[in-house]
A = this chain, B = another copy of it.
Amino acid sequence: MKFGGTSLADAEKIRSAARRAVRTARQGHQVVMVVSAMGKSTDGLEDLARQVMRNKPAPKREMDQLLSTGEQVTIALMAMAIEEMGMPAISFTAGQIGMVTDERHTKARIKSIAAKTIHRQLDAGKIAIIAGFQGVTEAGAITTLGRGGSNVTLVAIAAALKADMCENYTDVDGIYTTDPRLVPTAKKISQISYDEMLELSSLGANVLHNRAVEFAKKYNVPIHVRSSLNNKKGTLIVAETESMERILVSGAALKNKLARISFRSVPDRPGVAAKIFHTMAKADIVVDDIIQNVDGNSAMVAFTTDLPELPDAKKVCDKIAKDLGCSVTYEKYLAKVSVVGVGMRVHTGVAERMFAALAKAKINIQNITTSEIKISCLIDCKDATRALNLVHDAFKLGGKKRQAKKTAKKTRKK
């Protein structure tokens, strides 16, 4: 069971998570908890570091030493809460269970876990509580696992222990067919494959970080994403099954505030594209949706970047264009609407249906990119939310139930 920071924001919430673990243990399960730092406590530590460093970047080893205390506070309090409820518990820092990582401070990768230490405590009837987000190097330095690190800890522990189930408690009910804030009919998905989840989260639906999902896929660990506020079933993230292929599209996603950079009349000779993207990478600018077209003996190379990165990107690209003797243009305020589904692997007509829905509403598609289980269209920012709703409807992703329930309620009131 993993609980995120918002589900652990105060003593009462910690006790609530503890109750859930105790209940599960009393049903006869062996329970391991992975916990994040309480609420906004990490922000407080980062703020102290900024004050001490006068806004200069802090040494990474010390940053890890600092931030790892947040989770250490929570594991101790969680163990106390469980003991207070009459169930034996023991807390572990990453160091105490030999969660060994490489030496890359602030974004370390897990190398091994001493599962034996945890098994011994579970077999003694205890609930084991493990600090998420952190690791330890062979030499004993504390590391952290970077963004989404606690989920990586969850999946790594589950894999190492060969757990039957991995429960990710969060402040949402599960994974939705699309962002419910933008599409009112968005519906909770009961089951989704690792690959679909990877495509959706890379598109900005950030319930689980991709690193955790990749880890879960590699070790075939099922993850149940569910709410810490109720007992409803959430979304099960599992390996692809045949029945999943019957569904054409599982979800739709939107990524807003993109910019497109297009090089035209690029000399069509080997190594040119490599030069462009090598230079961008060196400048630490993330690019996506790359398209290359050859026309005669010159080529067009286009790609997107996040709008806030455009000023930096411009400097680099102007220089590249000058060096290559080609032209470069910039378009701001673009958005990308995508549909994802493993069903695309066996069914045709998905792209068609998507394009038709957008065309009918007179939304111009500026760019199309596809993967095996995803189709993305680049459109104007102003059309973004409308386009997402249209596409969501076109694939009948919307929930009817919710609407029906509301009506029923209204009727009763009358």
**A interface residue numbers (CB < 8 A to B):** 10-12, 14-15, 45, 48-49, 51-54, 56, 58-59, 61-63, 65-66, 68-69, 72-73, 75-77, 79-81, 83-84, 89-91, 93, 95-96, 140-142
Q: Is the CB of B75 within 8 A of A65?
A: yes
Query: Which residues of chain B are within 8 angstroms of A58 by Cβ–Cβ distance?
Result: 80, 83
Closest to A141 in B: B96
Q: Is the CB of B90 within 8 A of A61?
A: yes
Q: How far is the CB of A213 from chain B (nearest CB, A)?
A: 30
Q: Is the CB of B65 within 8 A of A11?
A: no
Q: How far is the CB of A250 from chain B (nearest CB, A)?
A: 40
Q: A11-B51, A48-B11 are in contact. Are A76 and B83 (CB under 8 A)?
A: no
Contact of A45 among B68, B73, B84, B96 (CB under 8 A): B73
Query: Which residues of chain B are within 8 angstroms of A140 by Cβ–Cβ distance?
Result: 95-96
Task: Please report the C-alpha to C-alpha distance between residue A141 and residue B72 in the assembled complex, in whole angstroms.
Answer: 13
Q: Is the CB of A80 within 8 A of B52?
A: yes
Task: Please report the C-alpha to C-alpha distance between residue A32 and residue B73 in the assembled complex, in whole angstroms.
Answer: 26
Q: Is the CB of A54 within 8 A of B84?
A: yes
Contact of A66 among B48, B61, B77 (CB under 8 A): B77
Q: Is the CB of B61 within 8 A of A73?
A: no
Q: How far is the CB of A289 from chain B (nearest CB, A)?
A: 39
Q: Is the CB of B95 within 8 A of A15?
A: no
Q: A11-B48, A14-B52 are in contact. Are A69 and B72 (CB under 8 A)?
A: yes
Among A59, A65, A81, A83, max chain B CB count under 10 A is at A65
Contact of A77 among B15, B49, B68, B84 (CB under 8 A): B49
Closest to A10 in B: B51
Q: How far is the CB of A134 from chain B (nearest CB, A)?
A: 12
| 7 interchain residue pairs of minimum CB distance | A11-B51, A66-B76, A69-B69, A65-B76, A62-B79, A62-B76, A52-B81
Q: How far is the CB of A23 from chain B (nearest CB, A)?
A: 17
Task: Please report the C-alpha to C-alpha distance between residue A403 and residue B119 in the assembled complex, in whole angstroms.
Answer: 70
Supply 6 A–B pairs (Cβ within 8 Å), ascending by A: A11-B48, A15-B52, A49-B80, A62-B79, A65-B91, A65-B93
Query: Which residues of chain B are within 8 angstroms of A89 by Cβ–Cβ distance?
Result: 62
Q: Is the CB of A80 within 8 A of B53?
A: yes
Query: Which residues of chain B are within 8 angstroms of A66 by Cβ–Cβ distance?
Result: 72-73, 76-77, 80
Closest to A65 in B: B76
Q: Is the CB of B72 within 8 A of A48?
A: no
Contact of A91 among B45, B62, B76 (CB under 8 A): B62
Task: Please report the C-alpha to C-alpha distance between residue A96 and residue B93 in the assembled complex, in whole angstroms.
Answer: 13
Closest to A73 in B: B69
Q: Is the CB of B48 within 8 A of A62?
A: no
Query: Which residues of chain B are within 8 angstroms of A48 by Cβ–Cβ distance?
Result: 11, 73, 77
Query: Which residues of chain B are within 8 angstroms of A80 by Cβ–Cβ distance?
Result: 49, 52-53, 58-59, 62-63, 66
Query: Which residues of chain B are within 8 angstroms of A12 by Cβ–Cβ distance?
Result: 51
| Given pairs A10-B51, A12-B51, A63-B80, 14 additional interface contacts (CB within 8 A) | A15-B52, A52-B84, A53-B80, A53-B84, A59-B83, A62-B76, A62-B77, A62-B79, A62-B83, A62-B91, A66-B80, A69-B69, A93-B142, A96-B141
Q: Is the CB of A56 within 8 A of B72?
A: no
Closest to A38 in B: B48
Q: How far is the CB of A274 from chain B (nearest CB, A)?
A: 38
Q: How far is the CB of A174 from chain B (nearest CB, A)?
A: 28
